[in-house]
Chain A
Amino acid sequence: MSSDGTLRTIIETRKVDKRFGTFHALKDVSATFYEGQVTAIVGPSGSGKSTFLRTLNRLETHDSGEIVIDGIVLNDNLKNLDAIRREVGMVFQSFNLFSHLSILRNVALAPMRVRKMSREAAESKALNLLERVGLKNQAAKYPVQLSGGQQQRVAIARALAMDPKVLLFDEPTSALDPEMVNEVLAVMRELAYSGITMLVVTHEMGFAREVADRIIFFDEGVILEDTTPESFFSNPDHDRAKAFLSQVRHGF
């Protein structure tokens, strides 16, 4: 949110459509996301949440419709794609840390290669970010030597190293043992309050309710609900959302 209280658009999708063969994964999805907003994306398995998130940095290409990120149109133009990927960071369910690089090098690699930072500058920046996620003392280790929760915090630091305007999270805690979920959520909570724009696909309803400004409920490739956490959790409009919530409340 800017100082005068108006919302600045950061991501705009218009009638985004995506098929995998005959399977219709996204059906004319339109949504606008504003700077500083934290959006939780929820919905049943296979509803297209990951696909939607992945079209936003072109890990999946959309078939039709338009995606505009910070004024840049996402299309086959490689210049645009490079610019967008510099502004959009992503955190994956399975961390995807570079297994052959130390923690420090994992975080420093992209600033060095993409932003052409010197090694010293990139590594000192990486150390600051690792300190922010509480892992400065692990900088010399390799990903396999860290717990899942620690690896995911490194992955967040790695995404932050590019100073993205938007962070996409695809089920960042789903691959973690229960006792490690909170350390990752704590880092995400701190980020949310720092004002970065976040889109978070999650099954952590407690987190969504507490931290998100907005909830988007996906079902069979369409956005069925797009509302505030209060109204989504207390009184959803659609039966599908009610069924989903009751299922979540009773555990999977």
Chain B
Amino acid sequence: MSVATTHPGEHHEHHPSGILRWLTTTNHKDIGTMYLTFALIMFFVGGIMILAVRAELFQPGLQLMQPEFFNQLIGVHALVMIFAALMPAATGFANWMLPLMIGAPDMALPRLNNWGFWLLPPAAILLTLPFTLALFGIGDGAIATGWTFYAPLSVQGGIGVDFAIFAVHILGVSSIMGSINIIVTIFNLRAPGMTMMKLPLFAWGWLITAFLLIATIPVLAGAVTMLLTDRHFGTHFFNAAGGGDPILFQHLFWFFGHPEVYILLLPVWGLMPHVLSTFSRKPTYGYTAQVYSFIAIGVLSVIVWAHHFFTVGMPVPALIYFMFSTMSISLPLAVLFFCWIATMWRGAMSFETPMLFALGFIVLFGMAGLTGLVLADVAADAQYHHSYFVVAHFHYALFAGGIMGVMTGVYYWLPKWTGHMYSETLGKWHFWLTVVSFNLTFMPQFFLGLAGMPRRIPDYALQFAEFNAISTVGAFILGFSQLLFAYNIWRCVKGGEKAKDQVWESAEGLEWQLPSPPPYHSWETQPEIK
């Protein structure tokens, strides 16, 4: 393998400037910055799409759009949020922070790192291009199957499906490159003396994520490849007429899809103990227990996938197996919650913005877990499946658990990255607006789901009108509050109060020993860990 590694020739600041610098950079900080910027932009793109959806759902009846377009917005919103916002944000964290935290000079495979990032913008364009093409009369818009690509609808759909399949291929290749890089960096570039059990928990969380990615993304790639050949080359993987089976697609998709949930969340779980211990001024409680919980969750996550389609008509033994295996994931998860709370227990807590987000994360993500247990119950799921209850559940998991976790990390590390403090006042406003409007948006959806409102339908019965109106108002406040976030970051990049190297008085870890911002090449001589 002649993959480029950190090469000495590039040292001492003679990198090109301007756009060329960003196109050719192999520096982990530049690449981290690009990932994070891309994620923020796509977060707004996905957000605008779903605000259009919420506007349509403000009142019963069809006001703004046709059902076809509504379906396209929902599916692309989800694909953008998952693959182009949340995953790149986590990869951006890894790029920026892993070398700093484990005392490495850079990522192990910098050239691969550059390619991994530059695959993302073309994929995002592929995903959204069919909307534009449809305006010029080419095709009938983007993928309209929801993000799950279920056959046979996806076998019959228009060109939007093909675009989405190629986008997923490219995004998959990019994640696999990123994961390989992260695994190699963690295994080979740790500072001397940093044993695996001294690894920062953030690195542990990412390590498990990276392994899940290389084990499950190829299955998704295979599934969408079969879809492509079914559509164009006369194969019958999912085509019942030719002896195929559409339900096979659901198995393949969720074999990837369920671990994906943990792929999105493990980096955040790894980050939490750092923040909680910093602002509680106490060491992390239960390091070993958390490491083993990460591993247990990683392993369990690949054997529970069928809980996403309990209602498809599985034999009872299979239902029981998938129900109990799913519920068993709550055990290691409960260990994590316990450790988080125990870390804060009797600590000298203070409530800077990152800590507020971390606390918000714990409470709201806890609700995601509890409602997930309800859904894992086969008998109950028959009623809740494909209802708004599910939509609310996974937004508590992905928005409150994923996105708010990312925000925690951004506020926590931003002073280190930029060398400036962000505005605490704006940060607190951002936090409270986000938490309140998030609950305003998604809490009513639990009740809508319980009352029987199905998801992915642009119209609804009159009795659902009030809760939908509330949810839409909440969504718009939530969306606009995020402008504060973007503005706060922008301000912080441009200037502001100088950040100390330590930034947070009781933060621990190698990253705080470097200046803020760290030099272009960090840890040219690796630190020694005792």
Q: Do A and B come from one complex?
A: no
Residues of B within 8 A of A (CB): none
Residues of A within 8 A of B (CB): none
